[in-house]
Structure 1
Amino acid sequence: MTRGSPADPVGTVLVARLDNAGDVLLAGPAIRAVAARAARVVALTGPNGTAAAGLLPGVDQVIEWRAPWIDPDPVPLTPRHTDDLLSMVRDVAPDLAVILTSFHQSSLPLALLLRLAGVPRIAAVSEDYPGSLLDVRHLVDETADVPEALRMLALVRDAGFELPAGDDGALDVRRPLPPVEHLTGPPGYVVAHPGTSAPARAWPADHHARAVRDLVLGGLRVVVTGDPDEQALTARVAGAYGMDLGGVTTLHELAAVLAGAAAVVVANTGPAHLAAAVGTPVVSLFAPVVPAARWAPYQVPVTLLGDQDAPCRGTRVRVCPVAGHPCLSSVTPERVVAAVRELIAVSTPGALRHATAPALVDADDADDAAEALREGVR
């Protein structure tokens, strides 16, 4: 990547995105646009986005701060906590800061703190009057439901940064990816990722487990992934059929696992965007608490499942307010299995040639089939 064009030089740019890993991954195209012109890019993230920022091409340094108005587990805003941020920003000494936010977040609290840290020029989206807090105030028609990655690209364009020629604006991660075949076996498996950052976005674990079983009995290998605190969930979902990698991988290794998959089954959570960043098709179990038009996996083949007109639509809740969680519980394992096979058939012609479902399988034969498939990747 060419950095800091001498014809139009920009020094250090601080790019802030203070929420979760998926949000940071979606900021990747905007960050590449900044990096194409800046000498140095420093990403400011919350603790849930730090690892993702480290994967993004164009990022030279990552600093971390928990924003009390954004973090789902907010800490009090104290003078000491504020001073921690001011000190980090002063050490970086950015010439410009770009504050990336979602439609429901305000950029102005961070803009105020960055001004106190001495940042001379700040760009952000703000519906509210920013006064002297912003030098570039980008306005967005929020009724248009623009994909999040494009929303952020529009802001940095307004601040003077364009993607370089040949960059298609898709999500991406640093290459090369680490080797993971010792964990997964050869590429071509299906990944099931049952965990989410909010319960309202989760497909029921029993549905996941049945889908894993049926995919394996249909001739496909299934790898189940999750964070260290999701190991009980991944073990339950993998059961006797899938390969349980819960808590085993770093985020960079998870990217490699996803890159080797023929398809990924995942809700609206960080690994959905990580799958998009490595170009893997996604069966997206999408709760409509936020708009799919903004947050569905970006620029990869996607099959969107879930009732997008459910009563929880647009509520942004973390816990489902509707008894029985019908927007996702109504999606059957059979529908997911069919969606996986359809998506693989379209995205990777010929990939299912040797993955044909048995006509009838009794319980003993099912266990034998699962064990045989697992043995094939050990």
Structure 2
Amino acid sequence: MAKVLIVKFGAIGDVIMALPAVRALYERQGGESRIDWVCGPAVAPLLACYPWIRAIVVDDHAILKGSATERLRALLALWKSVGLAKYQICATLYYDARYRIVTLPVRAQRKLMLSWTDRNRMLLPGRHHTDEYARILLGLEDGERPLGLAPVRPENLPLSPLIRTDTRPRVVLAPAGAKNMMRDDALRRWPVENYTGLASVLIERGAEVVLAGGPGDMWAVPFFDGMAVTNLIGKLELPEMLALLDDSDVMVTHDTGPLHMAGVTGVGIVSIFGPTDPRGRLPQRANTVALWGGEGFACRPCYDGRDFAPCLHNGCMRQVSVEMVVREVYEVMEQRRSERSMPPRVVAPASTVVAEL
């Protein structure tokens, strides 16, 4: 049996975008390979939804942020788990060369990392990250890259944690996010005041509005005080979050983990982008739309895979208005209601389709 080792601690969105590529690698072996995935505890419950993956959970906080003693202790625990195994492929899906130490004792026929200098191991701009992960993992030539790999639906989801009691359309908002252990990418967020304005309009039109997010997103909750929303921020495990989304009509968020979680479920998606390019990140499935702010801005997109350009006003995200998002929410609802499968698309603030993915 061929064995594959994947090293990708997080974040959630990056893990989900890599999943279809890992699945393609698994299927290339006729479903007979063993996929070991080194991850942090935050994403382990997500990977547990995929029975063909064996999660090797490590203390990623200690490895990335701990003292020298804590880092060594965590690495020794990891090496004990993987050091005696022999792998066909060992893929460390990071650019930073410091991650090489994670797989130092691993024996593998082929070891690979992402690279800023080798085109064959680089996530090329303007292409979807999922397809690029697949090109790199499968060892394809540039012209052979796969196109449009769909998100991989999880198996054995629990029941929705929020049972419907009426026929109102359910819209889930994830107003925070864009933050992980290594950095806080505030420029990717749509202003929280816009989310409260959106919630007001949806409630007035008779929708059920649910707030979702992780424990680190609690700062957004006070902005919705006094509003008729159901707050589940910080209250759900990842499988429960997936079940909630699968039982909802539309998810609205920006370029963050909940967007990619929505992608592996059946919920309609309306997302807001600005400094990052949605063509590389919007889930590649039906009934997903990205509103890409910053039309006409010379600096868009400013994210180069490492950093954002210096910016004080976040004008590209602010260019997307509440009214634009409301319009797309009801368009996606109508698509789902009429059982139309619209391809993923990117829309400019002037309502002009920029691209179909």
Taking structure 1 as the reference length, the TM-score comes to 0.73
Query: Relative to structure 1, is the Cα distance of residues 67 and 91 closer, same or farther in structure 2, using a 3 angstrom cutoff?
Result: farther
Aligned partner (choices 49, 55, 62) of residue 55 of structure 1: 49
Q: Match of 1:243?
A: 230
Q: Match of 1:192?
A: 173
1:249 CA displacement = 1.1
Q: Match of 1:294?
A: 280
Query: Relative to structure 1, is the Cα distance of residues 305 and 199 closer, same or farther in structure 2, using a 3 angstrom cutoff?
Result: same
Q: Aligned to 1:27, what secondary structure does the other structure show?
A: helix
Residues in 2 aligned to 1:43 and 1:184: alpha-carbon distance in whole angstroms: 35
* Residues 265 and 283 in structure 1, CA contact (< 8 A), matched pair in contact too: yes
* Residues 194 and 237 in structure 1, CA contact (< 8 A), matched pair in contact too: no
Letter in 1 for 2:301: R
Is 1:211 aligned to 2:198, yes or no?
yes
Letter in 2 for 1:292: P
Aligned partner (choices 163, 167, 172) of residue 152 of structure 2: 172
Letter in 1 for 2:44: T
1:321 CA displacement = 3.5
Query: Relative to structure 1, is the Cα distance of residues 127 and 281 closer, same or farther in structure 2, using a 3 angstrom cutoff?
Result: same
Q: Match of 2:338?
A: 349
Query: Relative to structure 1, is the Cα distance of residues 125 and 263 closer, same or farther in structure 2, using a 3 angstrom cutoff?
Result: same
Is 1:259 aligned to 2:246, yes or no?
yes
* Residues 215 and 222 in structure 1, CA contact (< 8 A), matched pair in contact too: yes
Query: Relative to structure 1, is the Cα distance of residues 260 and 211 closer, same or farther in structure 2, using a 3 angstrom cutoff?
Result: same
* Residues 85 and 106 in structure 2, CA contact (< 8 A), matched pair in contact too: no
Q: Match of 1:363?
A: none
* Residues 13 and 256 in structure 2, CA contact (< 8 A), matched pair in contact too: yes
1:297 CA displacement = 2.5
Is 1:27 aligned to 2:18, yes or no?
yes
Q: Aligned to 2:60, what secondary structure does the other structure show?
A: coil
Letter in 2 for 1:150: D
1:221 CA displacement = 1.4
Residues in 1 aligned to 2:216 and 2:121: alpha-carbon distance in whole angstroms: 39
Q: Match of 1:4?
A: none
1:25 CA displacement = 0.8
1:109 CA displacement = 4.0
* Greater C-alpha radius of gyration: 1
Query: Relative to structure 1, is the Cα distance of residues 177 and 85 closer, same or farther in structure 2, using a 3 angstrom cutoff?
Result: closer
Q: Match of 2:134?
A: 153
- Listed one character per residue, the Cα deviations across residues 192-215 of structure 1 (whole Å, up to 9, x for unaligned) are 110112311111111101101101
Residues in 2 aligned to 1:229 and 1:109: alpha-carbon distance in whole angstroms: 26
Q: Aligned to 2:56, what secondary structure does the other structure show?
A: strand
Letter in 1 for 2:133: M
Residues in 2 aligned to 1:55 and 1:40: alpha-carbon distance in whole angstroms: 16
Q: Match of 2:318?
A: 329
* Residues 124 and 132 in structure 2, CA contact (< 8 A), matched pair in contact too: no
Q: Aligned to 2:33, what secondary structure does the other structure show?
A: strand
- Listed one character per residue, the Cα deviations across residues 209-261 of structure 1 (whole Å, up to 9, x for unaligned) are 11011011112211111222323413533742221112221110110111112
**How many residues align structurally?**
319
Query: Relative to structure 1, is the Cα distance of residues 141 and 18 closer, same or farther in structure 2, using a 3 angstrom cutoff?
Result: closer
Query: Relative to structure 1, is the Cα distance of residues 235 and 249 closer, same or farther in structure 2, using a 3 angstrom cutoff?
Result: farther
Judge which range, 189-198 or 226-235, deviates more: 226-235
Letter in 2 for 1:26: M
* Residues 209 and 239 in structure 1, CA contact (< 8 A), matched pair in contact too: no
- Listed one character per residue, the Cα deviations across residues 77-119 of structure 1 (whole Å, up to 9, x for unaligned) are 6544543432232255534312334xxx24x544454243334
Letter in 2 for 1:158: G
Q: Aligned to 1:207, what secondary structure does the other structure show?
A: helix
* Residues 191 and 223 in structure 1, CA contact (< 8 A), matched pair in contact too: yes
* Residues 44 and 65 in structure 1, CA contact (< 8 A), matched pair in contact too: no
Query: Relative to structure 1, is the Cα distance of residues 55 and 138 closer, same or farther in structure 2, using a 3 angstrom cutoff?
Result: farther
1:28 CA displacement = 1.4
Residues in 2 aligned to 1:231 and 1:184: alpha-carbon distance in whole angstroms: 24
* Residues 40 and 59 in structure 2, CA contact (< 8 A), matched pair in contact too: yes
Q: Match of 1:307?
A: 293
Residues in 2 aligned to 1:153 and 1:213: alpha-carbon distance in whole angstroms: 41
Residues in 2 aligned to 1:141 and 1:251: alpha-carbon distance in whole angstroms: 27
Query: Relative to structure 1, is the Cα distance of residues 185 and 28 closer, same or farther in structure 2, using a 3 angstrom cutoff?
Result: farther
Query: Relative to structure 1, is the Cα distance of residues 141 and 221 closer, same or farther in structure 2, using a 3 angstrom cutoff?
Result: closer
Judge which range, 187-196 or 204-213, deviates more: 187-196
Query: Relative to structure 1, is the Cα distance of residues 185 and 251 closer, same or farther in structure 2, using a 3 angstrom cutoff?
Result: farther
Residues in 2 aligned to 1:62 and 1:128: alpha-carbon distance in whole angstroms: 30
Coordinate RMSD, CA, aligned: 3.2
Residues in 1 aligned to 2:325 and 2:265: alpha-carbon distance in whole angstroms: 21
Residues in 1 aligned to 2:287 and 2:331: alpha-carbon distance in whole angstroms: 11
Residues in 2 aligned to 1:202 and 1:320: alpha-carbon distance in whole angstroms: 15
* Residues 154 and 264 in structure 2, CA contact (< 8 A), matched pair in contact too: no
1:285 CA displacement = 1.1
